[in-house]
Every structure is written in structure tokens, then in C-alpha cells.
Amino acid sequence: MNHEQLCDAWALLENETPLFSDCGQLCARACCVPDEDGQGGVLLFPGEDTLIGRIPWGRVVELDDRGDGEPGKLLLCDKPCDRTKRPLGCRLFPLTPAWNGREWGVGLDRRAWPVCPLMGSGIKGLSKEFVVATRSAVLKIAASEEGRAFLMAWAKIEALFGEW
């Protein structure tokens, strides 16, 4: 996946959010707060660490196994972020890339149920512009072989949470 694909995907979701207002006001930004163990980061798409760069509000850590047997990188936030530097995993939440066997789309992220009050309303309860922009961002990433491979790994990790 190249730098341009990442920048395009970020740009699509720069100003789109799940609601027309700040949804973080409903849940006290629950998806942005580490869990009680100080964990709860967001998995970075390949190359995102270079877009994020050095930040005073968080740190990137290397993962030996991102959940599918492959190495990866995780962003752990210590303070509220600079929204212009937030990774795709944050930008598209509470949606997630979804593969239906033929094409890429988006679905509700099962990991959002414990923290996101919007989940009960389903996709139809989210801003249509946000859903369209998220799907477009996923398609940008899926345009490369590396992007498709990462999305397949992401989908496998997401599926593991369906076994709760």
C-alpha cells in the first residue's frame, strides 16, 4: 500500500464522523480511552506510522503478532489526540472493513459494542456520508495487493471477536 493511498483514505474521513455532531459527547470518548490495563490501542495500517510521525499524545509500539500471526504496529494514546493525525482505525470506528466473498464494504465493528452507544442503531443510525466515505476509504486501501492482504488480516482479527 503506498503513501498516496493512505493519504487519500485519511482525507476521505478527515471531516466525516458517525454523527453530524461530536459522537464522543455521548460516551465521554470511550473509544479513545485506554482500558484499565493502559492497553486498548489501535492497529495501524501499513505505513501509517510514517503519516502519524512523532506525537506528544501517544506512541507507536511494534507487535510481534497483530492477531493473525503477522507483525504489526499499534498506536497507544496517552492523551487526547490531534484529530488530523488520527489513524484509519479511529477514523472509521465504529465501522470496520468487511469482505463478503466478492467485494469490500463496511460493517459494524463487533469490538465497538462495549464502548459505543451508536451500535444499537446499526449502520442506518450513522451519518450516510460517514458510511459512504468509510467504504470509499476501504476501497482505496483495497486497490493494492498489500492493502487487500492487510484488510483480509483485519477481517480475520475482527471475526475472532465474534466468538465472544
Q: What is the pLDDT of residues 79-120, one digit of tens each?
A: 888 889 999 999 999 999 999 899 999 999 988 888 888 899
> How distant is the alpha carbon of residue 111 from its chain centre?
11
Under 8 Å between Cβ of 36 and 127: no
d(CA 13, CA 109): 17
What count of residues does the chain have? 164
The domain of 8 spans 3-163
Q: Which residues contact 81 (CB under 8 A, 6 or more apart)?
A: 32, 55, 57, 58, 90
Write down the number of H helices and E strands in the chain.
6, 5
- Give me 110's grid cell: 463487533
pLDDT at residue 17 tops 50: yes
**DSSP 8-state secondary structure symbol assigned to residue 121:** G
Q: For the chain, how many structural domains are there in total?
A: 1
Confidence of residue 164 (pLDDT cuts 50, 70, 90): very low
d(CA 67, CA 83): 26
Dmax over Cα atoms in the chain, in whole Å?
41
Give residue 35's pLDDT: 62
Cis peptide before 80 (omega within 30 of 0): no
d(CA 141, CA 135): 10
**DSSP 8-state secondary structure symbol assigned to residue 67:** S
